[in-house]
Structure 1
């Protein structure tokens, strides 16, 4: 199950503070794009937008991203 968007792990994910080796290509591509976006604009508004986008993506595809979710957020 995904943590709430307010969980600090989302912030670490989108800011690239922690690197993850993801199994699925779409998740890796999304994460790379989001981290680049935050590097270009690290305003709180952009970080929140990126968290929203990542959360929505992982929520929508939760069933097929199970291993990546466990990698990022734990069991």
Structure 2
């Protein structure tokens, strides 16, 4: 299946992803995989972390949402606010 960018998923360049991976913004979720991912990166990264580390985490999180878009609709609505 070819890669496609969803219109529901904000682009990687959106500051919303940075806020999530650095722990600046919380995202309530019942999805265990997402909870674990966010906990891992938010304890490891801070807004002052090296830019490349933050960009790598943003890429991982964005890819996670692209892969599991169908089951993360509730979370995508929250991110889009």
Pairing partner for 1:29 from 36, 60, 64: 36
Number of residue pairs the alignment of both structures matches: 73
Shift of 1:37: 2.3
Any gaps of 5 or more consecutive residues in structure 2? 1-7
Any gaps of 5 or more consecutive residues in structure 1? none
**How high is the TM-score relative to the length of structure 2?**
0.81
* Contact 1:14/1:35 (8 A) holds in 2: yes
Pairing partner for 2:75 from 68, 72, 75: 68
The 3-state SS of whatever aligns with 2:71 is: coil
**How high is the TM-score relative to the length of structure 1?**
0.87
The 3-state SS of whatever aligns with 1:2 is: coil
- What's the counterpart of residue 5 of structure 1? 12
